[in-house]
Structure 1
Amino acid sequence: MELILAVDLKDGLVVHGKSGRRDQYAPLTWGPAPTAEPVGFVRTLRPAYLYIADLDRIEGRGDHDREVKDCAPLVKHCYLDRGCRGPEDYLQVPGVSTIVGTETGGADLERYHGGYLSLDIRDGGVIPTGTDPVSFLAAAGRYSFDGCILLNIQAVGTETGLDRDRLARLREACTGRLFYGGGVKGEEDLDALQETGFDGAIVATAVHKGIIPLDAVRRGQWS
C-alpha cells in the first residue's frame, strides 16, 4: 500500500488545519521540517509519494502551479488536487496525476479522462449531493479515472481513527485503485487500510507528530 504525504498549500506556504476549515489553516511551523516553504519542506521530509491540495486554486483565488512543478521532481509521484472545474484544468506535468474532486468537478464526471476522482466527504455524504460514499463508489466504475480517493474532509487533521467494517464496505464497492485520507491516526489505522485492500493511505498530522514513522513515508510503502 502506498503511503502518501499530504501537503496543503495556501498563500505560497505549507499550511495545517482541521476539519476543512480553510480560513483557519495556518503555516506549518511545527513538526520535522524547519520551513513551511514548499520545496524546502519536501526536501526535508523526502516523501516517496506526495498529495498536494492547492487550496488557493480550489477556492478560485490564484494557484501554486510553480510550486507543484518544483516539488514534483523531488518525489516518485505526485497527486494534485487543484480544484478542477473541467478537463481543461488538468495540469500536464510529468509525474503528476491530477485529482478531480466532487467539491469542484461538477455533475458531469464522464467528461474527465485519467487522473483520480476524489470523493470529498462531509457529514457522511459525498459533497455536494450528499450521496452515500458506498453507493457513489459502486457507480464510479463507469467513469474514466485511474482510481478513486476517499477524502473525509471533516476528519482531516483530527486523528479520529477509522472504522474497519466501514473500510471493508467501501473497498468492496470499488473495483479499481482506492486511496483513503482524513483522520488516519496511526499504525493501527494503516494496518486496517492495508488489510482491507486499500491501495494508498494519505497522511499528514500523524507524521508531523511522530506517530507514523517518517522512514515509512520516505519508503512510500506500508505492509
Structure 2
Amino acid sequence: MQIVPVLDLMGGQVVRGIAGRRDEYKPNQSCLVEGSEPLATARAFRERFGLTRVYVADLDAIAEAQPDFETIGELVESGFQISVDCGSVSLQTAERLRQFAVEEIIVPLETLADWKALEQLLEVIPTTSLRFSLDLMNSDPMGVLGENNTTLEIVDRVSGFGLTKYIVLDLAAVGMNGGLQTLGVCQSILERNPQAKIWTGGGIRNWEEIEELQNACDIDGLLVASALHDGQISPAEVKRLSKT
C-alpha cells in the first residue's frame, strides 16, 4: 500500500476539500509549507515524506473550465508522477495530457455523460493510462450514470471495458476527519476482480487507521490530504509503509 497525496486545485491554488461542498473550499493551510501554491505543496510532500506520486483534482476543470495545464506541466517537469482528474475528458484534452507525460488520466463517474464517451476514449488511450474514479456521495454513485445504476453494476460495466485501475472516493467523507467510508465497496470490487488496483480515500485520520486498513483489504493506495497537512501522519510512518 502506498500513500498518494492529493492536490485539489482551484483558481491556481491548493484548496482544502470539505465533504464535496466545493463552494466552501478555501486556500489550504498546512504545517508542511507556507501558502497554497501547488508546486511548493508537492515539493513539500516529496521533501518531507519522500512522495513523488500525486493525485491532482482540477476542480475548475471538473466544473467545465479549461484544465490548469500550466500547473500540470510544472509538476511533471519537476519530476512528479501525476494522475489527473479534470472532469469530463474530451479526446482533445486527453491527447494534450498525454503530451505533458501525465502518468494517468482519471475518468470520473461524476462527470461521465454516458458509456459511449468512455468507449471513445479507450479507442485512443490505452487502458494502462486510465484510472476510473467511482465517485460516491454518502455511499450513492454520483453523476448521470449513477442515477440509473448501482455501484456494482457500474463496476461490472467498467471491468467489461478492460479497466482494472480504480479510485473509490466518497466525497461526503473528504476533509471531515471521520474515517474511511469506502472499505466495503473496495472489498466488493476485489471479490469481483481480484486483479483490480484500487486507490481509496476520504477521511483518513491517522497511522493507526492506515494499519487497520492494510490488514483488512488489499488496497493499492490511499489518497490523503488533510492528515498530511495537519501533521496527523508523520514522515517516519509514511516511510515505514513504503517498506511493507
Matched to 1:117, the amino acid is F
Task: Report the Cα offset of residue 64 of structure 1.
Answer: 1.1
Corresponding residue of 1:55? 59
Q: Which moved more, 1:60-69 or 1:18-27?
A: 60-69
Aligned residue runs from structure 1 range 124-163, under 5 A: 124-128=139-143, 129-130=146-147, 131-145=149-163, 147-162=165-180
Matched to 1:137, the amino acid is V
**1:87-143 deviation line (CA, Å, top 9, x unaligned):** 332111224211010111221133332311101101312112244333432332112
SS of 1:6 mapped into structure 2: strand
Aligned residue runs from structure 1 range 25-174, under 5 A: 25-46=25-46, 47-90=51-94, 91-92=97-98, 93-108=100-115, 109-113=118-122, 114=127, 115-128=130-143, 129-130=146-147, 131-145=149-163, 147-162=165-180, 164-165=183-184, 167-174=186-193
Matched to 1:83, the amino acid is G
**1:163-217 deviation line (CA, Å, top 9, x unaligned):** 6555433432344211102122222332344331111111111111111223555
Corresponding residue of 2:21? 21
Change in Cα spacing, 1:8 to 1:95, as seen in structure 2 (3 Å) is same
CA RMSD of aligned residues (A): 2.3
Identity of aligned residues (%): 26
Given the two structures, how large is their TM-score scaled by the length of structure 1?
0.88
Give the gaps of 5 or more residues in structure 1: none
- State the alpha-carbon separation in 2 of the partners of residues 202 and 222 from structure 1: 18
Change in Cα spacing, 1:76 to 1:172, as seen in structure 2 (3 Å) is farther
Count of residue correspondences:
223
- State the alpha-carbon separation in 1 of the partners of residues 239 and 59 from structure 2: 24
Change in Cα spacing, 1:65 to 1:133, as seen in structure 2 (3 Å) is same
2:196 to 164, 167, 176: 176
Given the two structures, how large is their TM-score scaled by the length of structure 2?
0.81
Contact 2:8–2:17 (Cα < 8 Å) also in 1? no
- State the alpha-carbon separation in 2 of the partners of residues 169 and 188 from structure 1: 23
Matched to 2:137, the amino acid is R
Task: Report the Cα offset of residue 4 of structure 1.
Answer: 0.2
Q: Which structure dedicates a bigger proportion of its chain to helix?
A: 2
Change in Cα spacing, 1:88 to 1:191, as seen in structure 2 (3 Å) is farther
Contact 1:5–1:217 (Cα < 8 Å) also in 2? no
Change in Cα spacing, 1:82 to 1:166, as seen in structure 2 (3 Å) is closer
- State the alpha-carbon separation in 2 of the partners of residues 205 and 23 from structure 1: 18
Change in Cα spacing, 1:31 to 1:72, as seen in structure 2 (3 Å) is same
